[in-house]
Copies of this chain bind each other. A is one copy, B any other.
Amino acid sequence: MSETNNPGKQVLLEIYRIASLIKQADDRFIELIKAGQIASPYYSPRGQELIPAAISVNLRADDTVVTTYRGIHDQLAKGIPLKPFVAELLGRATGTCKGKGGPMHVTHVASGLPVTTGIVGAGLPIANGLAWAAQLEGTDQVTVVNFGDGASNIGAFHEALNLAAVWKLPVIFVCQNNGYAEHTRYDLGTGAATIADRAIGYGIPGVEVDGNDAVAMWKAANAAVARARAGEGPTLIEANTFRFRGHLLGDDSHYIPKSEMAAAVAADPLPRFRAWLIEQGFATDGQLADVEATNAAAFEEAVQFGLASPYPDISELERDVVAEGVPA
C-alpha cells in the first residue's frame, strides 16, 4: 500500500476549512437543541472532525459516503448543502428529506450521501451494494462507509467485510474508533487488540491510523481510495479518535475517567491542527480566522433559513411510503 503521497498546502487548508465548519455546526446545533429548537437525540462528532475532513478531500462528488446517527461530520465533509442540511435537522419541509429523516438519518443523494442509518452496523452491507453497482457499471466510483468501534462487534460488520473482500468491492470501511460504544469502553466489548487486526480475517489490508492527525489520516485514506479505484478491493481503516461530548447530548460521560477526558481535551485535534498549519507556515492566524468567519456566516445563514422554513404538511405521512399512485 503506497503511502508515498502527501497532501499539499491547498489540501491541508481545505481539510481545516471542513473540520472547522463541522465544529461550528456542532456548537450551533447544541445551542439550537438547548433552545428547544431541535427535538431529538443528538450525537455530537466533536473531536472526530479531522477524519471525514481528511477522507473527503480524496473523494469525488460521485463517490458515495454511508454514515450513521453520529454523522454530521461525514455529511458536511462530503459537501452537503448547508441550508437543506440544517433544515433537515430542524424537521422542516425544506430539509434534504423533507424533515422525515431527521438528525439520525440525514441523507442527500445529490451529494453522494444516500444512506444514513441508526442501526449499528447496518450501513456496511448497504455500502457493498453501492460499490457493487459501481463495479458493474465500470465507473471507478468508491464508497466510504463510516462506523464506530462498537459497531465492529456486530454481525453485519463481519458479513460485509467478508463479502466485500470476496467480491473485491471498491469500499473503504472506516472505523472511527473513539474508544467507547455508548458507555462501554473498547476493551470491555471488543476482543481484538485493534480493529485493524480484524482485516486479517478477511484477507484485506487493515490500517490503524491516528484519526486526529490530518496528514496521517489523509495518507491512509488516499491509499485506500486509490486501491479501491484501481479495482484492488476494500480496505479497513481504523481511525483512532475521541468524542468530547458523550454518546448523545446530555450524557455526562461519567464512565470516562476524568484523567482520560482531561488528556483528550488537552490534545483536542482541531486547535492542534490549526496551530500546526500556522507553525508550518501554511497559513496565518488571520487567514484561518477568515476561513472560520466565512464558515460561520454561511452556517448562520443556513440556520436562519431552516428556522424560517415551514414544517412538512401532514399529508407527507402518506407520501413516499411507496411510489406515487400505488396502493401502500
Contacts and interface: CB of A to CB of B under 8 A. Distances in A.
Contacts of A198: 200-201
Contact of A191 (B153, B157, B161): B161
Nearest to A121: B155
A154 B161 contact: no
Nearest to A125: B155
A166 interface: yes
Interface of A is mostly: helix
A41 interface: no
B197 A200 contact: yes
Contact of A165 (B154, B157, B191, B204): B191
Interface string A180-199: 00000000111111000110
A155 B153 CA distance: 9
Contact of A189 (B166, B200, B204): B166
19 contacts: A153-B159, A154-B158, A154-B159, A155-B158, A155-B159, A161-B191, A166-B188, A166-B189, A166-B191, A191-B202, A191-B203, A192-B200, A192-B202, A192-B203, A197-B200, A197-B201, A198-B200, A200-B200, A201-B201
A162 interface: yes
A275 interface: no
A111 B212 CA distance: 55
A161 B165 CA distance: 20
A311 to B, nearest CB: 39
Nearest to A155: B155
A154 to B, nearest CB: 7
A156 interface: yes
Interface in A122-154: 153-154
A79 to B, nearest CB: 32
Which of A155, A157, A198 lies at the interface centre, i.e. has the most chain B CB atoms within 10 A of its CB? A155
Which of A162, A165, A192, A198 lies at the interface centre, i.e. has the most chain B CB atoms within 10 A of its CB? A162
Contact of A155 (B156, B200, B203): B156
Nearest to A202: B191
